[in-house]
Amino acid sequence: MENRRLFLFKGVMWILAGLAAAVAIVRFSLGLGVSTALSDSTPWGLWIGFDVMGGVALAAGGFVMAAVVHIFHRERYHAAARPAILTAFLGYGAVAVGLLFDLGLPWNIWHATIYWNVRSALFEVAWCVMLYLTVLALEVTPTILERTPFQKTYRFFVKLALPIMILGIMLSTLHQSSLGTMLLIMPFRVHPLWYSHLLPELFFVSAICLGIVMVMVESTVTSWLYRREPEMEMLAGLARLASIALACYFVMKSADLLLQGKLATVFDGTWLANLFILEMLLSTVIPMVGFAFPAVRRSFRGMWFLACCSVAGFVLDRINASGLSQVWATRRFYFPEWTEFAISLGIVAACVLVFFFIQERFPVDPHGLEAVEAERKARATALPAFAPFAQVWLGEGWRKSAKVYSFLFVLALAVGLTAAPKAEPVVDTRAVRAVGANILRIGPGPRYVYFDHKKHQDEAGGRKSCALCHHLHQKGDVGTPCVVCHENLFLPTSVFNHDAHVSALAGNDSCAKCHGKGEPIRVTPTKKCSECHDKDMMAANPVVKTFASKWAPSYKDAMHTMCIPCHEEKAKDVTLKLPNLGRCGACHNGGTESEKAYTAEFPAGTTAGARS
């Protein structure tokens, strides 16, 4: 009988990977704004907090187990060393991929190798991660080569193992703590409960704790998935180790808070303080106490639960320190978009799938391959499997898996692409009030014209001429801006407020005042506005001609009908010597490149008349 548990689990992983692939397309084609909830106040979000800060810490099992097994010679944990190192390799790969999503200009990631700023903690982290990823690849190589014909190369790598392991531990020490160093420069952002000058040391110690409990989670989950005997003796040993490491962390953290005089802040009841308590309980206190009981160390479920609890707590710690706790300073709340979760989960899912792939083909842990082999034999004698609903034979073994998994992946990809946020087209064409004295904005994009207000005023007759253009110019009103009525750039706007007229003219009784007595009330015929408002409104003048309807023309039409006739007339006036005044470029000269090209289209020799 096929391992249904593993099959379903992998199916879920493929779905998550498919969703992430869909979001990846949106992220790289449309940018971070569409695909995340990040903002200028919260420039780092889930991808830094979980994928990078959390990912590096989650992969700490690699260096911790390397030290335990290869330096301290605790042979009992030998079975955990190879899976832990493989996890670390995949984990760091995931960090690198996660970083590519988060970086605004990911194609420049290699710049860290040639542009150096040794004063940046991130620079150090970047180098350490690059080097450690290489080291981990070398550490994983023997696992891959062991059962291949390349025995000479295999033995070479086995000999190389010790110096490489030590180099790996050295690099890990550095960047695990440097992730804490990165936050040191932001005392104004990081909440006091998380900020400490000991952040590098705290990050290092908590990475060791997280490394141990993560190895436990991994070991318990794989043995459950592959229906294998759990390595209880090893797990119990790890639990004891974890208990000691967690106690160290707890003492460090408490002493640090005490010395900084922040102990009272922990219990001040704000939601951030409560979050801190929750994080400490999950990550440290509960597992530390739990693992100390021999009864717990004999229980598979107990150890699995406490290890998961601790992992969740430490991941929460990284997310809090690098992001969530900063709500305190920015006063702006940030909650990740579903797309951000999709990418984070998808990267983890892809890693898990690669882990399974390698585990089922190469000697990662001593019993793994035997179990897989036994299953393959069992499957050879099993009855053919049918698809659950269609009753179609899907083929044997990997054929069946490939069909189901690729179907799930593509399905998730399609769902993801449908649901993913799209770039919003610019539909807002409202005209906007002039931003300064000499600029009129003329479009939804970055387009504007220069308009010399003073020059026009002088030209038209000084202070008395305002009303020529500002044709609603009233007493106590300093030049009503055009956009008050000409609201939309391209569409006319109704300037008649029916409700205001109804209420001002004594309710429904007043219909007849405009709509005519005894006639059915229709939109037309009504009174002309000027029949009542003849004194309120400016008379039509040579510049602004009509007030016949309630429709104010669009901003563009209003400006063009107002400006162009006068400009063309002035252009024809030889005494003014302004032959270019009638051309588009006379006004549309200051904006985008395309507008500059527009101006260049009509060189200085041509006249306006020649064009029209």
Partner 1 sequence: MIENPAILTDVTKCIGCEQCVVACKKVNDLPANDAPPRPGSTPDGLSADRWTTVIREPDNHFVRKQCRHCLEPACVSVCPVGAMQKTPEGPVIYDKAICLGCRYCMMACPYGVPHYEWDSPNPSVRKCILCYPSLKSGKIDKPACVASCPTQATIFGTRGEMLAEAGRRLRAEPSKYVQRIWGENQVGGTSVLYVSDISLDFLAFGDGRQLSAAPLPPLTWGTLKAVPFEFLGMGVLMGSLYWVIERRRKLMDEKAAAVAAGEDHHGE
Interaction residues for partner 1, span 578-607 (CB under 8 A) = 591
Q: Residue 441 interacts with partner 1 (CB under 8 A)?
A: yes
The dihedral of CA 454, 455, 457, 463: what is its sign? Answer: positive
Q: Residue 6 interacts with partner 1 (CB under 8 A)?
A: no
Do residues 441 and 448 make contact, with C-beta atoms less than 8 angstroms apart? Answer: yes
Q: Looking at beta carbons only, is 41 or 594 nearer to partner 1?
A: 41
Q: Residue 219 interacts with partner 1 (CB under 8 A)?
A: no
Selected binder of partner 1 within 3, 120, 134, 488 (CB under 8 A): 120
User: In angstroms, what is the minimal distance from the CB of 241 to partner 1?
Assistant: 16
Do residues 103 and 381 make contact, with C-beta atoms less than 8 angstroms apart? Answer: no
The one segment of 148-156, 166-174, 277-285, 573-581 that binds partner 1 by CB under 8 A: 166-174
Selected binder of partner 1 within 43, 294, 366, 525 (CB under 8 A): 43
Query: What is the rounded distance in angstroms from the CA atom of residue 19 to the CA atom of residue 433?
Result: 44
Do residues 161 and 177 make contact, with C-beta atoms less than 8 angstroms apart? Answer: no
Kindly identify the residues of this chain, within the stretch 50-89, that bind partner 1 according to CB under 8 A.
67, 70-73
Tokens of 65: 């187990």
Q: Residue 277 interacts with partner 1 (CB under 8 A)?
A: no
Residue tagged 């023997």 (tokens): 142
Selected binder of partner 1 within 31, 366, 461, 479 (CB under 8 A): 31
Q: Residue 221 interacts with partner 1 (CB under 8 A)?
A: no
Cα 461 to chain centroid distance, Å, stands at: 57
Q: At what angle do helices 199-225 and 300-322 cross, to 10 degrees?
A: 140
Residue tagged 């002088």 (tokens): 458
The one segment of 83-91, 108-116, 452-460, 565-573 that binds partner 1 by CB under 8 A: 108-116
Q: Residue 103 interacts with partner 1 (CB under 8 A)?
A: yes
Residues constituting the chain: 612
Q: Residue 417 interacts with partner 1 (CB under 8 A)?
A: no
On the CB side of 30, CA atoms within 13 Å amount to 18
Tokens of 255: 């002493």
Q: Residue 121 interacts with partner 1 (CB under 8 A)?
A: yes
Kindly identify the residues of this chain, within the stretch 329-358, that bind partner 1 according to CB under 8 A.
329-334
The one segment of 175-183, 309-317, 381-389, 395-403 that binds partner 1 by CB under 8 A: 175-183
Rg (CA), the chain: 36
Do residues 395 and 403 make contact, with C-beta atoms less than 8 angstroms apart? Answer: yes
Question: Each residue of 11-27: b (16+ CB within 10 Å) or e?
Answer: bebbbbbbbbbbbbebb
Q: At what angle do helices 121-145 and 78-102 cross, to 10 degrees?
A: 130
Kindly identify the residues of this chain, within the stretch 302-331, that bind partner 1 according to CB under 8 A.
328-331
Q: Residue 167 interacts with partner 1 (CB under 8 A)?
A: yes
Q: Looking at beta carbons only, is 16 or 56 nearer to partner 1?
A: 56
Q: Residue 118 interacts with partner 1 (CB under 8 A)?
A: yes
Kindly identify the residues of this chain, within the stretch 374-413, that bind partner 1 according to CB under 8 A.
none
Q: Residue 160 interacts with partner 1 (CB under 8 A)?
A: no
Other Cβ atoms closer than 10 A to 524:
5
User: In angstroms, what is the minimal distance from the CB of 319 to partner 1?
Assistant: 15
471-490 mask for partner 1 (x: CB under 8 A)? --------------------
3-state secondary structure 270-300: CHHHHHHHHHHHHHHHHHHHHHHCHHHHCCH
User: In angstroms, what is the minimal distance from the CB of 172 to partner 1?
Assistant: 9
The one segment of 112-120, 390-398, 518-526, 563-571 that binds partner 1 by CB under 8 A: 112-120
Q: Looking at beta carbons only, is 120 or 254 nearer to partner 1?
A: 120
What's the CA dihedral at 233, 238, 241, 243 to 10 degrees?
Answer: -100
User: In angstroms, what is the minimal distance from the CB of 96 to partner 1?
Assistant: 13
